[in-house]
Amino acid sequence: MARDDARRAVPADEARTAAFFDLDNTIIRGASAFHLAVGLRRRGFFGTRDLLVFAFHQARYLMYGEDVETIDQVRARALSIVAGKSVAEIAAIGEEVWDEVLSLRIFAGTQALLNRHLEAGHQVWIITASPVEIGELIGRRLGVTGALGTVAEHRDGFYTGRLVGDLLHGRAKESAVATLAHEEGLDLSRCYAYGDSTNDVPILSSVGHPVAINPDARLRRHAREVGWPVREFRGRRRTAARRSMLTASWAGGAWVLGLVVRAARRQLRG
């Protein structure tokens, strides 16, 4: 069946339905921007000290979830790093990082949910505070309808180090989804949203079918209070998931510490 024919075959109610997926720790284990930062570091875009800062925030995020202050700090540092860099070059590195790392960090349970929505004829959107380029890249690889994310300004093919609009986070996600629903003719009462953080409560509250995936402690409590379903894809038991997060955090910290030590040794030998 041709693609246009398949679209026409989707019932009208299903065509007005969408599923909105947060990215970090909902689709991807950990922070996707951190893995891009590692790829950029390996290619000489910035120094070991910068990566150490990103690794610290990655470990804290895995252990405690996200918070606005941390996100603002990481955003500001990331924007300063890419200022003056080529959009095409960053995009090419992003493709390599997907092949090397991100494709291996997809939660199988989330991907199964995503695929079921696509099979039902629903639109599927990634809604993320991460750079929109990361959301679009992962969206293309997963075959979703599209992605909305934080937009870094660029002129003549080079990043300026400034944002276009606000960080797509919290209430900004809710607003973006409302605008998208109006443009696409979606019925939010029929739509689904998936998120892992208490900062996703606004977007989860705006749809008829909210689901907490791999929730942080605050979202887990909120979901229990309001009766939202919770899906845990980090392990069979929450304790096992917690242990795996701590292991990943310590391993990441040890890896970055090793980079620092090796760099220091090279400088001393020099």
Residues with a catalytic annotation lie at 22, 24
DSSP letters spanning 39-86? HHHHTTSS-HHHHHHHHHHHHHHHHH---HHHHHHHHHHHHHHHTT-B
Identity of the residue numbered 47:
G
DSSP track, 209-240:
EEEEES--HHHHHHHHHHT--EE--S-SSHHH
Provide φ and ψ at 46, rounded to 5°.
Answer: -160, 175
Torsion region of 128: left, alpha or beta (phi above 0 gives left; psi -120 to 50 gives alpha): beta
CA distances to 96, 100, 193, 199, 221 from 149, rounded to whole Å, are: 20, 22, 15, 15, 27
Q: Structure tokens of 117? A: 């929505």
Of 128, 151, 136, 134, nearest in space to 79 by CA? 151
Residues 6+ apart with CB under 8 A from 119: none
Q: Report which DSSP code applies to 28.
A: B
